[in-house]
């Protein structure tokens, strides 16, 4: 492990091992001497830690919580070739590696590990917590919970184009070819993983915080998304879960999310009139982050 900055008031730029590669992360510590709870955080579909996750982390740290904010392998500042490879199983492995790293940190209360995910990672934290009974609490923000529901919001013609690209990419990978890339977001009518009316403009709002952001991933991912149902595991989670649900969500339909949320043994459900991408910025951010801090104070005391 390495650290470039040991000042407690500023995040340290660290890495931890996931498999045989390194995930880059920011480690924030609150200005206190007692062992701190820690919140582990990562972004959604193709996102990086710089895309407003630091804004959430800064608010959590001010409330007394340490934060570990990481980039998945193949994205951001983390290792991994080919770049922009979005692999569900590898990302879930990265979550487990981040938890293992947090559990060996000094100055951390290892009995108080919290998972925070948004959009695609909002599903990852549900799947991860369902398999780890020692997680203390979970925050799942505008979460992806149901592959079929998310796929059905896509125009059928666009879905067919994505499938063709995905097959070409998957076959090419077997033959050792360079990945076939597909845009993460685009305007309506254009081929992308997200092309709802608010998807591209909303993505651009966030990408300004990471000038190195790449608006594409290996197309093979389109074959996997429809088979991923992290919401089905919510009923196995022992920790309290806060669901922050965007009622007008154009990417992760709220109807499916609410169905799974209501099956969660210990849950709190907050419903918002914000869109999927609004929740990271401005008044919507203030509203949601305050709800999240209040949830943390009630469930995981400092």
Residues 124 and 98: beta-carbon distance below 8 Å: no
Q: Is-contact 67 101, C-beta < 8 A? A: no
Q: What pLDDT digit, counting tens, does each position of 204-245 carry?
A: 999 999 999 999 999 999 999 999 999 999 999 999 999 999
Q: Does residue 218 sit in helix, strand or coil? A: strand
Averaged pLDDT for residues 179-184? 97
- Specify the length of the chain in residues: 302
Element (H, E) at 91: helix 88-102
User: pLDDT digits over 156-168, tens only?
Assistant: 999 999 999 999 9
Question: Does the pLDDT value for residue 153 go beyond 90?
Answer: no
Domains, the chain, with CATH or none: 12-149+229-299 (3.40.50.1820)
pLDDT at 70: 98
Give the pLDDT score at 9: 52
Q: How would residue 287 be classed by pLDDT, with cut points 50, 70 and 90?
A: very high
Q: Which carries the bigger pLDDT value, residue 54 or residue 9?
A: 54
pLDDT band at 7 (very low <50, low <70, confident <90, very high): very low
CA dist., res. 43 & res. 39, Å (int) = 13
pLDDT at 93 over 60: yes
């Amino acid at each position: 492990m390495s650290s470039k900055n040991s000042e407690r008031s500023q995040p340290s730029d660290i890495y931890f091992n996931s498999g045989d590669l390194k995930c880059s992360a920011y480690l924030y510590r609150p200005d206190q001497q007692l062992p701190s709870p820690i919140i582990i955080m990562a972004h959604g579909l193709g996102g990086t830690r710089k895309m407003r996750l630091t804004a959430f982390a800064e608010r959590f740290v001010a409330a007394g919580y340490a934060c570990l904010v990481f980039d998945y392998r193949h994205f951001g500042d983390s290792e991994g070739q080919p770049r922009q490879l979005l692999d569900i199983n590898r990302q879930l492995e990265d979550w487990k590696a981040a938890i293992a790293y947090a559990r060996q940190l000094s100055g951390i209360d290892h009995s108080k590990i919290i998972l925070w995910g948004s959009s695609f990672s909002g599903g990852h934290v549900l799947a991860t917590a369902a398999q780890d009974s020692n997680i203390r609490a979970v925050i799942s923000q505008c979460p992806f919970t149901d592959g079929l529901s998310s796929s059905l919001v896509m125009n059928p013609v666009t879905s067919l184009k994505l499938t063709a690209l995905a097959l070409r990419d998957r076959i090419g990978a077997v033959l050792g070819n360079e990945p076939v890339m597909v845009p993460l977001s685009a305007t309506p009518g254009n081929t992308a993983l997200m092309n709802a009316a608010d998807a591209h403009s909303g993505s651009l709002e966030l990408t300004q915080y990471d000038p190195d952001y790449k608006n594409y991933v290996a197309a093979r991912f389109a074959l996997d998304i429809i088979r991923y149902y992290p919401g089905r595991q919510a009923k196995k989670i022992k920790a309290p879960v806060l669901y922050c649900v965007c009622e007008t969500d154009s990417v992760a339909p709220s109807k499916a999310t609410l169905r799974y949320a209501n099956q969660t043994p210990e849950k709190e459900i907050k419903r918002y009139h914000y869109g999927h991408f609004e929740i990271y910025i401005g008044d919507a951010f203030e509203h949601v982050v305050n709800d999240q801090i209040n949830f943390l104070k009630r469930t995981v005391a400092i």
